[in-house]
């Protein structure tokens, strides 16, 4: 696990390949956090409403008691962080709670609670995080005979399988691996190429069930149009949702990570799209200067893609 600037990252390696990954962007509401919040809105007679927390972020709340009224302060536990798709954000979800206030557990603590062994390192092996980021950023995963396109829609995360009929069973294995590697959860729709033969559809269902046997979920059987739906507990944004929610923020976090790895002496020059520069919080820049013991210089370049920023040392 890396404790980066503005972002904590974790990967699980197996045979030298990343088989699972997760990121956490500290600062927003996160599952497990308990805090005081004001009931900002509630429709008359409804059990649902909106809570506003001290940081200004709002969360949906259900099962409100009859006497809960707007403007009053309640203890609340966050059960799901906000989920962002391109163009819209689903607010976090919370429930009223009498538990004492506590921050959300760190990514390391969450992983340990789930039974994982956690080792914090300064930097992952070269290429591992970059490859995962590229998949999550583009929403595209290539495999022999086809490709996957992952789209975070308002209704579900949609995985479109493109390829000839022959690799449909093999695609099930790739889909399962992608779900773990990009930390997908919630409602997931998988659109396989249409398989006319019921036996072929059952074979894909069995392959998918086998590959996802250790992941708690429910699944529908493939219908005649090649569509399968999976449903799993959702507590946090996937890598795809994180990057879709804030492209410039994701780009600057990637740039800061790259800048930490510059070894040549001299001040650090960070070249980036102006939107990426604007997303670099002052405290993040101060932390980069502290970690590297260098002065920082910025060069804005509108021709650079948001994810294409780079850092280099200025000659002494």
Which tens digit of pLDDT belongs to each residue from 173-185? 999 999 999 999 9
| Six-digit token string for 228 | 């399968």
Class in CATH terms, 34-96: mainly beta
| Six-digit token string for 272 | 């980036």
Which tens digit of pLDDT belongs to each residue from 52-90? 999 999 999 999 999 999 999 999 999 999 987 666 778
CA 27/CA 220 separation, integer angstroms:
36
Helix, strand, coil shares, percent, the chain, to 5: 25, 30, 40
Which residue from 101, 115, 84 is spatially nearest to 243, judged by alpha carbons? 84
Which tens digit of pLDDT belongs to each residue from 134-160? 999 999 999 888 899 999 988 899 999
**What is the predicted pLDDT for the residue at 169?**
78
> Whole-structure pTM over 0.75, yes or no?
yes
Give whole-number Cα distances, 298 to 227, 228, 238, in Å.
48, 47, 30
pLDDT > 80? residue 168:
no
Which tens digit of pLDDT belongs to each residue from 302-314? 999 999 999 999 9
């Amino acid at each position: 696990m890396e404790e980066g600037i503005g972002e904590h990252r974790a990967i699980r390696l197996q045979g030298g390949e990343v088989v699972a990954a997760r990121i956490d962007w500290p600062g927003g509401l996160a599952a497990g956090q308990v805090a005081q919040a004001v009931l900002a809105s509630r429709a008359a007679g409804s059990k649902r409403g909106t809570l506003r927390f001290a940081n200004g972020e709002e969360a949906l709340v259900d099962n409100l008691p009859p006497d809960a009224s707007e403007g009053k302060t309640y203890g609340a536990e966050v059960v799901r962080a906000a989920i962002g798709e391109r163009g819209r954000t689903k607010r976090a979800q919370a429930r009223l709670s009498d538990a004492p206030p506590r921050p959300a557990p760190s990514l390391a603590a969450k992983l340990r609670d789930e039974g994982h062994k956690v080792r914090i390192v300064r930097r992952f092996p070269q290429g591992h995080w970059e490859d995962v980021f590229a998949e999550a950023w583009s929403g595209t995963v290539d495999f022999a005979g086809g490709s996957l396109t992952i789209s975070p829609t308002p209704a579900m995360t949609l995985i479109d399988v493109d390829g000839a009929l022959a690799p449909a069973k093999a695609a099930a294995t790739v889909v399962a691996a992608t779900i773990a590697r990009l930390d997908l959860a919630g409602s997931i729709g998988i659109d396989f190429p249409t398989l006319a033969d019921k036996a072929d559809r059952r074979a894909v269902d069995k392959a998918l069930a086998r590959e996802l046997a250790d992941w708690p979920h429910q699944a529908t059987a493939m219908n005649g149009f090649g569509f399968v739906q999976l449903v799993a507990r959702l507590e946090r944004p996937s890598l795809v949702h994180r990057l879709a929610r804030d492209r410039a923020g994701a780009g600057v976090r990637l740039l800061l990570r790259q800048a930490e790895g510059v070894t040549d002496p001299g001040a650090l020059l960070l070249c980036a799209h102006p939107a990426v520069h604007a997303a670099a919080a002052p405290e993040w820049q101060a932390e980069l200067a502290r970690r590297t013991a260098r002065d920082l210089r910025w060069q804005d370049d509108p021709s650079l893609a948001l994810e294409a920023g780079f850092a280099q040392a200025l000659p002494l």
